[in-house]
Structure 1
Amino acid sequence: MSVEHKKLQERYGKEKGTKIGAILGLISGWGFFFFWMGIWCSPQPRFSISILQDLPVLVPVVNFSIPFFHLIISIPFLIPGAWLAIKGVRETTLKVAETHRTEKIVTRGVYSIVRHPQYLGGLLAHVGISFLLSAWYSLLSTPLMVVLVFLISKKEEEELIREFGNEYEDYKKRVPMLIPKARVMAPKLWIKKLSREVSFVDSAIKTSTR
């Protein structure tokens, strides 16, 4: 979520403003993530699509079953969503993803597909997880989440334009905000790329906790 680092530096000085911005960035970023998790996992009615209901997928330990058809529906959302989100973190670094302090405009990789790949990935994952958990309120909240992500993205871009000026304006003209242009990627390539990104994030988290 947007943190106005430049304004904080002007108000509190560069060093103090940077520290405050980093803290606020962590709070807003992780807060948004836990907000999303709360929507997925909160007590709510469960829905079921009456196709292949006799083939539930049992999840051990938590004693939870996933309707098989819901699992099938969720995969096309979860895999691209996870890939976009993880790839977005990888290409800007975990630190930038956490603090929302951008030092340069990244235009390669997934940032050449959409300007906010992590948010797009989050939205796709939201739909996938809603089906996976059969979470009715979570699924119904999708339009609200789209609006919220759009407003956050717009606010962040206002800050980026103030900081980077024409460079970001040119980037905006070339790359869409959240809806990518038609591109096709083979499912095997998605899975291969996803496995690499999961390994990267796992190693990054281990490094940051040392």
Structure 2
Amino acid sequence: MDDRKSTQEKVVRLLLLIGILFLPLIYVLSPWLNFANYHLPIWANGLGIGTLVLSLWLFWRSHHDLGKNWSSTLQIREGHTLTTSGVYQNIRHPMYASVLLLCIAQALLLPNLIAGLSGFIGFSIAYATRVDREEMLLSSFGDEYEAYRQRTKRLVPYLF
């Protein structure tokens, strides 16, 4: 099954686009969501910018470390190898971690209940529906992947 074409995958990608791109753009470019504004202290902007930079670096680094193993679909291709170095040394799903950081940055930079928090909704749905399927590497890499799972965290190193 090509997960890029499944209805569930299309809905998940659409929700991510709405939460991380479209609603923030509507907030920035129009007054339509102003009814949901709230106040954040000025330090939240600096923290948001720092979190955004970290998110972008982690996203780039995770793609770089995967190299030819990267795919937007949840598939194992011929010649696929298990990546356990770089950012994958401590985190099994650094791309999801980078999107989580992006959602945190969005909430810190957009003081609006809808635009600021909408990324978390899309991310939560994507994470809940995809991350267990990404653990399919266990069936392809067996004991090697199980050992990797035992020494790494899914999303946040050293916590959970």
Do they superpose with TM above 0.5? yes
Instruction: Give the number of the structure whose alpha-carbon radius of gyration is greater.
Output: 1
Deviates more, 1:140-149 or 1:129-138: 140-149
Q: Please state how far the C-alpha of 1:167 moved relative to its aligned partner.
A: 1.6
Matching of residues 1-210 of structure 1 within 5 Å: 8=1, 21=2, 23-24=4-5, 31=14, 33-35=16-18, 36-43=20-27, 44=33, 45-49=36-40, 51=41, 68-93=42-67, 96-102=70-76, 103-141=80-118, 144=121, 147-148=124-125, 149-157=127-135, 159-181=136-158
TM-score by length of 1: 0.56
Q: Please state how far the C-alpha of 1:143 moved relative to its aligned partner.
A: 6.0
**Aligned partners of 1:78 and 1:125 also within 8 Å:** yes
Q: Give the fraction of aligned pairs with identical amino acids, expressed as a percent.
A: 22
Backbone CA RMSD of aligned residues: 3.1
CA distances 1:15-64 after superposition (whole Å, capped 9, x unpaired):
xxxxxx37549x75965652432353355322222x4xxxxxxxxxxxxx
Q: Please state how far the C-alpha of 1:172 moved relative to its aligned partner.
A: 0.2
Q: Please state how far the C-alpha of 1:69 moved relative to its aligned partner.
A: 3.5
**Aligned partners of 2:16 and 2:119 also within 8 Å:** no
Task: Specify the SS of the correspondent of 2:70.
Answer: helix
Alpha carbons of structure 1 residues 145 and 104: separation in structure 2 relative to 1, 3 Å: same
Gapped regions of structure 1 (runs ≥ 5): 1-7, 9-20, 52-67, 183-210
TM-score by length of 2: 0.71
Q: Please state how far the C-alpha of 1:98 moved relative to its aligned partner.
A: 2.4
Amino acid at match of 1:96: W
Amino acid at match of 2:73: T
Q: Please state how far the C-alpha of 1:105 moved relative to its aligned partner.
A: 1.1
Higher-RCO chain (CA-CA 8 Å, sequence separation at least 6): 2
Equivalent residue pairs, number: 144
Alpha carbons of structure 1 residues 163 and 138: separation in structure 2 relative to 1, 3 Å: farther
CA distances 1:135-193 after superposition (whole Å, capped 9, x unpaired):
32244456645643255212211x221222222111100111111128xxxxxxxxxxx
Alpha carbons of structure 1 residues 89 and 100: separation in structure 2 relative to 1, 3 Å: farther
Gapped regions of structure 2 (runs ≥ 5): 28-32
